[in-house]
Amino acid sequence: MKFELALIMPVYNEEACINEVVSSWYSELSGLDIKFIMIVLNDGSRDKTKDKLEHFAGNARINIINKMNSGHGPTILQGYHMGVNLADWVFQTDSDDEMKPAFFKELWSRRQDYDALFGFRQGRKQSISRSLISRISRVTVNIVFGKGVLDVNTPYRLMRGDILKNIISQIPDDTYAPNIIISGKLAASGVRIYNFPVPNEGRKTGTCSIVKWKLWKAVIKSFLQTFNIRYLRK
């Protein structure tokens, strides 16, 4: 069956909110009368996330995948590879409830005029380190690939499946931050891009998968992978 939309949602240690988040997205997409499938990937959560997700086991529109931990980026890529073969459009969002489903309709309603639509995070509160990293990421993508995406790592992105399929075929499965590379590839390819502000409410529950010094180590890895993709995998 070919769907109009495949929603990709990576999950890690979100037992406190995951049922509400999945249900709210299911309700939003159903209300928009979209032929959709949700691909929810539990990335080896150590809490009771897996047990919570069993609530949706009988829903044919919600595909729950419990997998060994591989990290946020590789999990997103796994979901993308599934999504592009199932639907015309692929949307990725995180499971932390920081960006609400109610704003998705703005992107969906404009999809016929664009190839990639991004909800850039508005009102996002970050530490000095994370704010600096976000700025460096944006500048890096602008320099290496070109401008076009305002929030290069936003977890609120709607993309044409055929275009995304071509891009992810060039990205290794272990890539730490594939969304940054995807944003750059989209900007460099000259496709039609739409940016729309979506409020970011900040994390209230769950576990951030990377903290403190590990963050900078991961950022260095991400930048090296980004340059490698740009200059060695044209």
In terms of pLDDT, which residue wins out, 3 or 131? 3
Query: What's the pLDDT tens digit per position in 162-217?
Result: 999 999 999 999 888 899 889 989 998 999 999 999 999 866 665 555 444 455 55
Does 122 score more than 70 pLDDT? yes
| Domain locations along the chain | 3-232
E strand segments, the chain: 3-11, 36-43, 62-67, 87-93, 116-122, 156-160, 193-199
Query: What's the pLDDT tens digit per position in 17-52?
Result: 999 999 999 999 999 999 999 999 999 999 999 999
Does 129 score more than 80 pLDDT? no
Homologous superfamily (CATH) for 3-232 = Spore Coat Polysaccharide Biosynthesis Protein SpsA; Chain A (3.90.550.10)
Question: CB atoms < 10 A from the CB of 70, how many?
Answer: 16
pLDDT band at 102 (very low <50, low <70, confident <90, very high): very high
Residue 25, C-beta contacts closer than 8 angstroms, at least 6 positions apart: 7, 9, 38, 93, 101
Query: What's the pLDDT tens digit per position in 46-97?
Result: 999 999 999 999 999 999 999 999 999 999 999 999 999 999 999 999 999 9
